[in-house]
Amino acid sequence: MAIPAALVAYSAWSASEALPNVGARIEQAHWTARSWFDGEATATIDSTWSDALPHRDFASGIVGAGRWLALGEGKEGVVPGRDGWLFTAEEARSMSEPLSASLARIAILEETLNEMGVALTIVPLAGKADIYRDETRNPSMANDLEARYDEVLASLREMGIDTVDSRTALMTEAEVSQVFYASDTHWTRDGAAAVARAIAADLPSGDTVFEPVETETVAFHGDLTKFITTEDYATAIGLEEESARLFKAEAAAADNGADIFGSGDDLFAAAALPTVLVGTSYSANPDWSFQESLKIAMQSDIVNYAEEGRGPVKPFLKMLADPAFRDTPPQRVIWEIPVRYLSDPSIWEPEEAQKDQAILAGGMLTDELARIEADAPTSLQTAETLQAASTDAAGQTGQLASLDLNNKGETHVD
């Protein structure tokens, strides 16, 4: 009787620990009726509940470590490679809609910047499994990533959008140094620097010399190890820590050290900077050193709108909506887009607060960006060919009447 009694007591205690977190999540969510019908609310409650259980980390770590040792497998989300190399399952994900839909949306965003007098440079980021195909056990994943990258790069160039070839830069650098972490999704300092140099070779340079000032070296478990076990057990099963050498890019001349950022959340001070960076965690996380590498390579300071964990599009839309950006637009935006994200149509969904904002070309609403037809015409002209339809009886506005695209065909993978 003691064993079932103990289990009941432990269950009651676990529930009492988890319920406050679930309640707080419900209070913060402000879900609509649709959220309950489509399962979003219940899925969030379920994940919040499981995350809050006090035994979760211990059980997950033990079970995951045992599965890795016995079978060499992890949870859904990771693709194990050779010799401890791990790859995100997002790179093996198939395209759920034609690439033409993403290209149509990109054309609208480019036209939006053009209306403001801002040039756009897109840096499609090649997949880790593509660069380190010899470390994978899945050649088709690497081949699909390569094909997708080639199609994206060629299509953007056919559209007349300025692009930088990150794949060539990474492949060349990989011959002499490691450009991606073995157990993490992201690039190393050397990989980020190689792409920064490729960007600088394509764009005008500034006149400020920046020099690297080493700060610290940090050790961390790669983000892909969480799909196998917890940090407490990772090293014990052979998943070693990674190491990042951090630095700051500082202007060589003392008189160039003025505060150009202002204060608070305002990224711009009195005058606009020539270059803005936007994108994903590859650009946002200081551990990967991309912004600092760009400063050195381009001899110019960089305003960074990139954000972690939000994909490449949401930070871009947030940047467009920022009054500081619109009032003092920069000369150029560098947009970093990992090609694996293009297999996820949800990246184009704006935040709730931005859905009704007409900040896009032709007065188009941001909510309409995600609803562009997947079978959009493939004859390409940029967003200049957009026409807004008249409002319907319900008062909805801004339906796309026409879109031209230069791309033909679809891609695979993310």
Average pLDDT score over residue span 385-395: 32
Residue 49 lies in a domain: yes
Residue 99 lies in a domain: yes
> Which amino acid is located at 174 in the chain?
A
370 in the same domain as 231: yes
Confidence of residue 61 (pLDDT cuts 50, 70, 90): low
Structure tokens at 263: 């204060």
User: At residue 411, does pLDDT exceed 70?
Assistant: no
> Half-sphere exposure of residue 323, counting CA atoms within 13 Å on the CB side?
2
Domain-terminating residue out of 62, 89, 116 = 89
131 in the same domain as 57: no
Number of domains in the chain: 2
310 in the same domain as 240: yes
Identify the H or E element spanning 213: strand 210-220
Among residues 376, 399, 403, the alpha carbon closest in space to that of 388 is found at 399
Domain-terminating residue out of 89, 117, 144 = 89
142 in the same domain as 80: no
Looking at residue 312, what is its pLDDT?
97
Average pLDDT of the chain is 81
Looking at residue 233, what is its pLDDT?
78
Looking at residue 378, what is its pLDDT?
34
User: At residue 268, does pLDDT exceed 90?
Assistant: no
Per-residue pLDDT tens over the stretch 7-56: 676 566 555 655 676 566 566 666 566 666 767 667 766 666 555 555 55
3-state secondary structure of 211: strand
202 in the same domain as 82: no
Confidence of residue 372 (pLDDT cuts 50, 70, 90): confident
154 in the same domain as 21: no
Residue 210 lies in a domain: yes
Are the beta carbons of 346 and 131 closer than 8 angstroms?
no
Burial class (CB in 10 A: 0-12, 13-18, 19+), 6: exposed
Whole-number percent of the chain with pLDDT over 70: 71
Average pLDDT score over residue span 252-272: 47
Looking at residue 239, what is its pLDDT?
85
Are the beta carbons of 257 and 210 closer than 8 angstroms?
no
Residue found by looking up tokens 């009941």 in the block:
8
Average pLDDT score over residue span 89-97: 90
156 in the same domain as 84: no
Residue 406 lies in a domain: no
Q: In whole angstroms, give the CA distance from residue 20 to residue 16.
A: 7
114 in the same domain as 72: no
Residue 394 lies in a domain: no
Domain-terminating residue out of 89, 120, 152 = 89
**Higher local confidence (pLDDT), 250 or 264:** 250
Residue 263 lies in a domain: yes
Q: 137 is in which domain, residue-wise?
A: 94-385
Q: In whole angstroms, give the CA distance from residue 399 to residue 397.
A: 6
116 in the same domain as 84: no
Burial class (CB in 10 A: 0-12, 13-18, 19+), 53: middle
Residue 189 lies in a domain: yes
Looking at residue 25, what is its pLDDT?
58
380 in the same domain as 311: yes
330 in the same domain as 277: yes
Q: For 29-38, 257-266, 326-335, which range has the lowest pLDDT when averaged over its residues?
A: 257-266
> Half-sphere exposure of residue 386, counting CA atoms within 13 Å on the CB side?
25
Per-residue pLDDT tens over the stretch 126-156: 999 999 999 999 999 999 999 999 999 999 9
238 in the same domain as 261: yes
Residue 407 lies in a domain: no
